[in-house]
Amino acid sequence: MNLALRDIRHSFGRFALTAVGIGLLLMVVMGMGGIYRGLVEDATLLVDRIGADLWVVQKDTRGPFAEMSRLPASVEDRLRSVSGVASAGSFVSHTLQREDAGRPLRVTIQGLAWPQDRGAWLPLLAGRTLAQAHYEMVADLSVGLSLGQVVRLGRDTYTVVGITRNMISAGGDGLAFTTLADSQAIQYAASGEAIRLERAARRNRAQDADLGRTQPALLGRAAGLSAGIPILGPAPVSAVLVRLAPGADPDQVGRSIASWPDVSVYSQEQQRELLLKGSVDRSRRQIGLFRALLIVVSTIIMALILYTLTLDKVHDIAVLKLMGARNGIIFGLILQQALLLGAIGYGIAYAVGLGVFPRFPRRVLIVAADLHMLAGVVVGISVLASALGIWRAMQVQPSEVLS
């Protein structure tokens, strides 16, 4: 006969409610670990998926994910001439929020270096990759756009030709992929009135200059399209991604490019570390503190419940001792209850989490290593929580059966 099980049946309601409460607390602990894993996965998603050997960014900046980085588009052509470079492609990424069919549409637009990069590396759930240079888009499922839907961004309309899954930016917004030219057109789109005012301001500046007075024909050029003014270059890019030729030494190529006075160079691993030590680091520390706090709270709750259960059976423990029961039996009674309470709570946390976590707005990534670690923590807090009840049970004297 197992005394722990018989005692649980005797006070089943209290034990069950305690197990549910502990399970919900452990579910939150498990979920916080999964949220952190999801943050890391989302933050490093593009760096890992794109697989560039080197990231070339604006001088003395930490890359497009850490801060603003602007490079002239001509850097891409300069990089192709470097020995050891197999290919170079521009990188443009920006977040926008619009309204579509009466609901907010928040999305991070990612420009693909067309035609070299058509999005073949994207994990497509439905549809296809980009097949033309303009007005097509591949969007993540979390954006809320459907296959074939037409959405207006900037001054143009784009057709969703592909749907991906779990392509999320570091900020938690769904990613949408267009060609580089379309991405820049969306980023720098302005209203007609804003364009008219900018052209008028350019014409006024040219009219006030000596060159504008001596060459009146320049005034018409200044009031025209930006692309028609030679002094105004193409829109800048956030970074240029470099892939090395087989056998090329990344360190040597990186040092060669870093010697240029207008760029900084990072390897794929360095760019990843910058992300983790920047935007993710504070979230990691905050989540870690909450996890530790919840583990302490779970331990205290379990200790108090086991202590009150022990107080309820002080008379029974005195009877057992009067009958000659060894301390080991009493010790095992309380410890088994604590371990069973922790095991049931862990099972409830896992079962409820499987149904709840997919509904979270941010990805919750549960991995086996975290589950094993949490299981070890549950065993530890169960043993620690039983100590208070065991201490009280050891204080019971057989004579208390008469009180």
Q: What is the pLDDT of residue 1?
A: 40
The residue from 277, 296, 318 where one domain ends is 277
Rounded to two decimals, what is the model's pTM?
Answer: 0.73
Q: What is the pLDDT of residue 8?
A: 65
pLDDT of 4 higher than 60: no
Instruction: Tell whether 35 and 81 lie within a shared domain.
Output: no
pLDDT above 90 covers a percentage of the chain that reads 9
Check whether the bond before 115 is cis (ω within 30° of 0). Answer: yes
Instruction: Tell whether 64 and 204 lie within a shared domain.
Output: yes
Interval 347-363: pLDDT, tens: 999 999 988 988 887 78
- Higher confidence at residue 312 or residue 269? 269
Residue type, 25: L
pLDDT above 70 covers a percentage of the chain that reads 83
Residue type, 380: G
Instruction: Tell whether 108 and 226 lie within a shared domain.
Output: yes
State the chain's mean pLDDT as an integer. Answer: 81
pLDDT of 7 higher than 90: no
Q: What is the pLDDT of residue 176?
A: 92
Least reliable range by pLDDT among 182-186, 188-192, 367-371: 188-192
Instruction: Tell whether 300 and 372 lie within a shared domain.
Output: yes
- Higher confidence at residue 211 or residue 247? 247
- Higher confidence at residue 158 or residue 16? 158
Instruction: Tell whether 258 and 143 lie within a shared domain.
Output: yes
pLDDT of 390 higher than 50: yes
Using CB atoms within 10 A of its CB, is residue 211 exposed (0-12), middle (13-18) or buried (19+)? exposed
Q: What is the pLDDT of residue 137?
A: 93
pLDDT of 277 higher than 60: yes
Selection from 305, 254, 331, 321 nearest residue 52 by Cα: 254
The residue from 277, 306, 332 where one domain ends is 277
Q: Are 335 and 381 in contact (CB under 8 A)?
A: no
Q: Are 23 and 234 in contact (CB under 8 A)?
A: no
Instruction: Provide the domain count of the chain.
Output: 2
Instruction: Tell whether 12 and 96 lie within a shared domain.
Output: no
Find the domain containing 26 and state its range.
3-42+281-402
Interval 61-81: pLDDT, tens: 887 877 778 888 888 888 988
Mean pLDDT is highest, among 5-9, 262-266, 318-322, for: 262-266
Q: What is the pLDDT of residue 385?
A: 76
Instruction: Tell whether 91 and 176 lie within a shared domain.
Output: yes
- Higher confidence at residue 7 or residue 266? 266
The residue from 247, 277, 307 where one domain ends is 277
Instruction: Tell whether 24 and 130 lie within a shared domain.
Output: no
Instruction: Tell whether 24 and 71 lie within a shared domain.
Output: no
Question: Residue 389 to residues 100, 396, 400: CA-CA distances in angstroms?
Answer: 60, 11, 17
Interval 99-147: pLDDT, tens: 777 778 889 998 888 888 888 888 899 999 999 988 999 999 988 888 9
Q: What is the pLDDT of residue 177?
A: 93
Interval 295-349: pLDDT, tens: 888 778 877 777 777 766 666 666 666 666 676 677 777 788 788 888 888 999 9
The CB density around residue 264, as the number of other CB atoms within 10 Å, is: 18
Q: What is the pLDDT of residue 225?
A: 65
Instruction: Tell whether 272 and 285 lie within a shared domain.
Output: no
Work out the pLDDT band at 220, boundaries 50, 70, 90.
low
pLDDT of 213 higher than 90: no
Task: State the Cα–Cα distance between residues 206 and 367, nearest whole angstrom.
Answer: 62
Interval 47-66: pLDDT, tens: 888 888 899 998 888 878 77
Instruction: Tell whether 264 and 336 lie within a shared domain.
Output: no
Tokens of 113: 């270096």
Instruction: Tell whether 68 and 184 lie within a shared domain.
Output: yes
CA 306, 16, 347: angle at the middle one, nearest 5? 100
